[in-house]
Structures are given as structure tokens and as C-alpha cells.
Structure 1
Amino acid sequence: MAAKDKENAGERPRRSKLKIILIILFLIILLIGGAIAFWWFQLRQPGEGLMPASGTPAAAVRQEAAPAGNAQTGQAPQPAQSQPVTDMPRPATSMATLPSVMVNLADAAGDRYLRVGMEVEVSTPDAVRELDAQAPKVRDAIIILLSGKTYAELSTADGKMLLKNEVAARLNQILGTPRVIRIYFTEFVVQ
């Protein structure tokens, strides 16, 4: 009996040392992962560490793009005017400014109003011209939509995001095709 107790006593410190080593190893890995995530999201410049499609590092592509200078005239090479490498390709979009709209809200007391200004991001410059051509319809649709809202619906961030989506849907309805990408509030006052 005494021999078994001595054997069990010898295994306990070995198990606890193994647990401590595993915990320390886990914490080190977690710390390294946190440092990498911090660098990636906070300190990294856009495009840094990315490879262009050809497989050469971005810095090498920038150096290759630099003109070598004119060997015949002896002129020094000019500094490179390279385009920055971005994380994601972005499609060309256009912005349309909508005039500010002021409406009474649909509250029971009827003493609150909303003044809102918006910028509309659209997929093509043609969509901007179409929005300008349809300005009375656009303004009417926005006024009808906004005047049906209450203060409670618009006071939260979710309510504002829902309103952006509803405005985009109405504008796409007027344009006939989904060309509105995003709505930006440039002014939003509720009193």
C-alpha cells in the first residue's frame, strides 16, 4: 500500500509539470497570433506583403516599372510613378448628391421632423445622369419613405441602416435596374 502511494505521488508532479508546460506553450502561441493580427490590421500598409498575379513581390514589380534612364543621353533615371498595390480590386463607381429633404415624422404627437442629406454611390456615370433626370421621382419617393418613419425607428443604428437599404431599394426601383451600390448620409438631424 505504501509503495503504491509513493508511485502515485511521483506521477502527480510529472502531470502537473506537463499541464504547466502546455499552458505556457498555448499562451505563447496565443501571444504570437495576437501580435500578428495586430500588425496585419493596425500597422501594415495597404498592399504590403501581397503578391501580384505574376508571383513576384510587389517591391520587385515597382522597381521593374521604374524607367532605366536614357543610356545614350546620359540622363539619370526618373523616379517611378507606380500605382499602389491594393488589397482588393475596386470597381469604378460614381457618386450622386441628393438635395437635403426635411419631413415631419409619423410620431403620434407630430412634433418631430427629420432633415437628411444623402450621397448615392452608383455603378456607372449613366446612373448619375439618370438620377438627375428622374430628380422629381427620386425626391417624391424619399419624402414618402421618410414621412412614414417614426423617431423610434430612426433613433438606433440598425434603424438608420435599414433606412439606407430602403432608400437604395426605392432608387433602384426608379432606375429600373439595381445600379445603386450604397447610400451615405451626409446630414441626419431629428428634432
Structure 2
Amino acid sequence: MATAPEADAAAAGGGKKKLIMIIVIVLVLVVAGGAAALLLMKKKPPADEEGEEAEAPAAHVEVAKPKPGTPPVFLPVDPFTVNLTDKEVDRYAQIGITLEVVDQKTADMLKNYMPSIRSGVLMVLSHKSATELLTKEGKERLQKEILREAVRPLGFEIEIDEEEPEEEDPPPKKKKKKKKKAAPPVLPVSNVLFSQFIVQ
């Protein structure tokens, strides 16, 4: 049977454990609250005069150019054969491309990402119809989309302007303050060339 001093010592030990647990819980709550506050206070885009959020400028890009006196390097890609989205008849396209890059080092780097590049290009092609691919504008747009997919695995994002129908009297655009634009990124792929283009 425990004596009175032993019972007091046990009660004091239990009180210390409770105090330590309370301190630990308070510390966890303070750290979690601080992390939540940091996430909420992240920088938001500045608002313009009308209170609307400023639009991020479209990402314009520049292509890398080979050093003067050195020829560009061409990286052929295995041809693609895909079914097109035409609903009336079954149609397919056979398209071969070659990527023009700035140097051999870039070509070697792109070879490492080729499965990802091919997958992206196949996704683009499989959403096309024969009518889209048979026009000059359609082929030029396809080149831009393939370029986007070729540099995406390297961390570059290219926005492709959506084609809008022309209106007789377009509504006047709101004037916005000019913003400083960051220098456009330089793409390692300078051009997409078609080596084969068959639509059947």
C-alpha cells in the first residue's frame, strides 16, 4: 500500500506529464496556424483600377539560334500514324516530323524525353480532323502544337492563341496599364519540320 508521500510524488509526476502534453499540443497548433497563415498570405496578382485581377501576359517565346557558322542540328522523330476524329468515314493520318534544335547537346537531351514527347504529339494528332489538317493554316497550327509538346517535358510552357471569328465591329477594349514583361524564355527547339504528311 502506497504511503502519503509516495502518492503525492505520483500525482506530481502525472501533473508534469499533463503539462508537457498541453505544451506539445499548443506548439503543434501554433506551427499549423503559422503554416496556414503563410499559405494564405502568398502574393496575389495586383488588381487594376476597376478592381479586377490583372491578366498574366501571354507567354511569348523566342527560339534558340545556332552559333554563327555552325549548322543547326536536326532530330528526326519516328512517323506517327493516328486515326482522325472524322465521324462520317474512317480517316487516318501518317505524319513524320523532324525537330530543328540548336546543338547536339540539346538533341541528345530531347532523345531522353522522346517517349513523353511522342505521347504528347499523339494526343494532339488524335484530336484532329482531316479538314483541319488539309489546310495551310491547320498545318501551321499543328506545327505550333507539336513545338509546344516537344518543349513541355523540358519545363517550357507555350500558349497557342485561339483563333477567334472576326467580327464586323469588335467591341472596344478596355485600356490597361502597361506592365513590365519578363524576358521571353528561349526555346531549345527552333522549328518543327514535316518530313511526311499523308491524310487518307
Measured after TM superposition, the shift of residue 149 of structure 1 is: 0.6
Tell me the equivalent position of 2:114.
135
What is the CA RMSD across the aligned residues, in angstroms?
1.6
CA–CA distance in structure 2, aligned partners of residues 112 and 123 of structure 1: 35
TM-score by length of structure 1 reads 0.51
Q: Corresponding residue for 1:115?
A: 94
Paired residue type of 1:182? N
1:156 aligns with 2:165: no
How far the C-alpha of 1:91 sits from its partner, in A, is 6.1
Aligned partner (choices 165, 184, 189) of residue 180 of structure 1? 189
**5+ long unaligned stretches in structure 1:** 1-88
Amino acid at match of 2:191: R
Q: Distance in 1 between matches of 2:71 and 2:122?
A: 29
Alignment of 1:18-33 (within 5 A): none
Which residue number corresponds to residue 81 of structure 2?
A: 102
**Cα shift at 1:114:** 0.5
Measure, in 2, the Cα distance between the counterparts of 1:190 and 1:176.
32
Tell me which of the two structures has the higher relative contact order, counting C-alpha pairs closer than 8 angstroms and 6 or more residues apart.
2
Question: Which sections of structure 2, spanning at least 5 residues, go unmatched?
Answer: 1-67, 157-186
| Cα distance in 2, alignment partners of residues 106 and 90 from structure 1 | 44
Flag the structure with higher helix content: 1
Three-state SS of the structure 2 residue aligned to 1:106 is coil
State the number of aligned residues. Answer: 103
Query: What TM-score does the superposition give when structure 2 sets the normalisation length?
Result: 0.48
The CA deviation at 1:100 is 0.4
CA distance in 1, matches of 2:131, 2:70: 36
| Cα distance in 1 for residues equivalent to 2:84 and 2:71 | 36
Report if the CA contact (8 A) 1:116-1:186 is conserved. yes
Between 103-112 and 159-168, report the one with greater CA deviation: 103-112
Q: Deviation string for 1:147-181 (max 9, x for gaps)?
A: 00111111101110110011011111122242110
Identity, % of aligned positions: 30
The CA distance in 2 between the partners of 1:169 and 1:90, in whole Å, is: 28
The ranges of structure 1 where at least 4 consecutive aligned residues each deviate by more than 3 angstroms after the TM superposition are: 89-92
Secondary structure of 2:85's aligned partner: coil
